[in-house]
């Protein structure tokens, strides 16, 4: 049984389905959809045994579906039959898109279906950090709530404050909507290009990164991780922020210089932080950020609801099947591969 799960069956004349490796646990309904069109090797966990099975099967695979695996020239060299890799995520910093195009491999992701869920998580982080919700939760549960609170335990308001969004794309816009329409927040944003829609809908103001850091009460990073955005927020940006600023990162850990963030928090250059992502995940237990009461941490759960994770898996499966059937995948990242196929 285990062998059946961990290897492709020999292809007979009657079985001409393309071979696919799913390197993540897939919902049964989505797996059934994949299995109608493909022969699927399903690796439910990513451990040493799964890695060996993956390596052994890669040479025959025409499709890959999963999350986070680095897809680069080294892997692609070992996958001569590969046609498509379907990321079950919107961020695709794990893809070397240039190498994938050179190897004629389509790349797909799952935009839109997770946007509202991630925006909800980011509002949760903003509220949790500003109102010190995890700290107060601990106070109650540990039995230390024995007298009326003093101002030492008070938080800071969110409503009517200024939120600076770095990366006003799909998720950034959904955060702006919640913050402006729900919390009467004033919105600043920074992108490489203007987003006139958020300016019109949520009265958002475009500004440079430096202006945003100087003026915002909350700085929320929602850019994709690229060469350009690696360490986008560092010492200079933290120094520009208000001493009362709260820093929120929902993008990728590496968009922020974590050492500079630790220094900014230790030295009181900013007030607090809310982080869903870390440079290394899972983050080391002794990471200095984890010892700070004014830092709210989450284990990269931006899109982690049952409904949204299901929609992401379904979308990724549809991308994969379309690509393997010679159709244009709905969320194709390297169009040229499809056009030249």
Ligand X SMILES: NC(=O)C1=CN([C@@H]2O[C@H](COP(=O)(O)OP(=O)(O)OC[C@H]3O[C@@H](n4cnc5c(N)ncnc54)[C@H](OP(=O)(O)O)[C@@H]3O)[C@@H](O)[C@H]2O)C=CC1
* Catalytic residue set: 252, 281, 300
Q: Which backbone phi and psi does 222 adopt, to 5 degrees?
A: -140, 30
CB of 315 to ligand X, least distance (A): 13
Task: Return the residue nearest ligand LL5AMS7Z (CB atom).
Answer: 91
Q: Which of 30, 57, 89, 333 binds ligand LL5AMS7Z (CB under 6 A)?
A: 89
Q: What is the dihedral of CA 193, 199, 205, 206, to 10 degrees?
A: 0
CB of 153 to ligand LL5AMS7Z, least distance (A): 33
Q: Binding mask 289-308 vs ligand LL5AMS7Z (x if CB under 6 A, - otherwise)?
A: -------------xx-----
DSSP strand pairing (272-275 vs 246-249): parallel
| DSSP output for 71-91 | B-HHHHHT-TT--EEEESSS-
- By CB under 6 A, tell whether 164 contacts ligand LL5AMS7Z: no
CA 4 – CA 26 distance, rounded (Å): 17
Q: Binding mask 86-125 vs ligand X (x if CB under 6 A, - otherwise)?
A: ----xx-------------------x--x---x-------
Q: What is the dihedral of CA 291, 296, 299, 304, to 10 degrees?
A: 170
- By CB under 6 A, tell whether 303 contacts ligand X: yes
CA 109 – CA 91 distance, rounded (Å): 7
Kindly indicate which of the ranges 27-35, 124-132, 219-227, 287-295 contains the residues binding ligand X, using the contact rule CB under 6 A. 219-227
- By CB under 6 A, tell whether 223 contacts ligand X: yes
Q: Which backbone phi and psi does 22 adopt, to 5 degrees?
A: -100, 110
Residues 141-200 within binding reach of ligand X (CB under 6 A): 167-172, 190-193
CB of 89 to ligand LL5AMS7Z, least distance (A): 3
CB-CB contact of 296 with 273 (8 Å):
yes
CB-CB contact of 276 with 270 (8 Å):
no
**147: exposed, middle or buried (C-beta count within 10 Å: 0-12, 13-18, 19+)?**
exposed
CB-CB contact of 166 with 219 (8 Å):
yes
- CA 316, distance to chain mean position in Å, is 15
The 10 Å Cβ neighbour count of residue 149 is 10
- By CB under 6 A, tell whether 169 contacts ligand LL5AMS7Z: no
Residues 302-341 within binding reach of ligand LL5AMS7Z (CB under 6 A): 302-303
CB closer to ligand X out of 101 and 191 = 191
- By CB under 6 A, tell whether 90 contacts ligand LL5AMS7Z: yes
Contact set with ligand LL5AMS7Z (CB under 6 A): 89-91, 114, 302-303
Contact set with ligand X (CB under 6 A): 90-91, 111, 114, 118, 167-172, 190-193, 222-225, 228-229, 250-252, 276-277, 300, 302-303
């Amino acid at each position: 049984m285990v062998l059946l799960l961990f290897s492709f069956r020999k292809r007979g004349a009657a079985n001409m389905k393309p071979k696919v490796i799913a390197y993540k646990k897939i919902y049964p309904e989505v797996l059934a959809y994949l299995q109608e069109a493909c022969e699927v090797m399903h690796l439910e966990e990513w451990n040493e045994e799964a890695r060996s099975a993956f390596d052994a099967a890669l040479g025959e695979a025409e499709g890959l579906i999963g999350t986070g695996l680095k897809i680069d020239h080294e892997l692609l060299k070992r996958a001569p039959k590969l046609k498509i890799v379907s990321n079950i995520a919107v961020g695709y910093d794990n893809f070397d898109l240039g190498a994938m195009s050179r190897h004629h491999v389509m790349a797909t992701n799952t935009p839109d279906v997770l946007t509202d869920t991630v925006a909800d998580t980011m509002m949760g982080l903003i509220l949790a950090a500003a109102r010190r919700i995890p700290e107060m939760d601990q106070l109650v549960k540990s039995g230390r709530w024995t007298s009326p609170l003093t101002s030492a335990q008070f938080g800071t308001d969110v409503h009517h404050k200024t939120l600076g969004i770095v990366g006003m794309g799909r998720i950034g816009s959904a955060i702006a909507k919640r913050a402006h329409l729900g919390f009467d927040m004033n919105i600043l944003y920074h992108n490489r290009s203007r987003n006139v829609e958020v300016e019109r809908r949520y009265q958002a103001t475009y500004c440079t990164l430096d202006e945003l850091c100087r003026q915002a009460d909350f700085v929320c990073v929602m850019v994709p991780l690229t060469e350009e955005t690696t360490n986008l927020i560092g010492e200079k940006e933290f120094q520009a922020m208000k001493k009362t600023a709260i820093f929120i990162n929902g993008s990728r850990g590496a968009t922020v210089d974590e050492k500079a963030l630790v220094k900014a928090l230790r030295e009181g250059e900013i007030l607090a932080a809310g982080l869903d992502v870390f440079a290394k995940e899972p983050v080391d237990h002794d990471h200095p950020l984890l010892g700070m009461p004014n830092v709210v941490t989450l284990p990269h759960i931006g899109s982690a609801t049952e409904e949204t994770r299901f929609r992401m898996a379904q979308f990724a499966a549809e991308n994969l099947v379309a690509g393997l059937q010679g159709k244009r995948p709905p969320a194709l990242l390297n169009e040229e591969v499809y056009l030249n196929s």
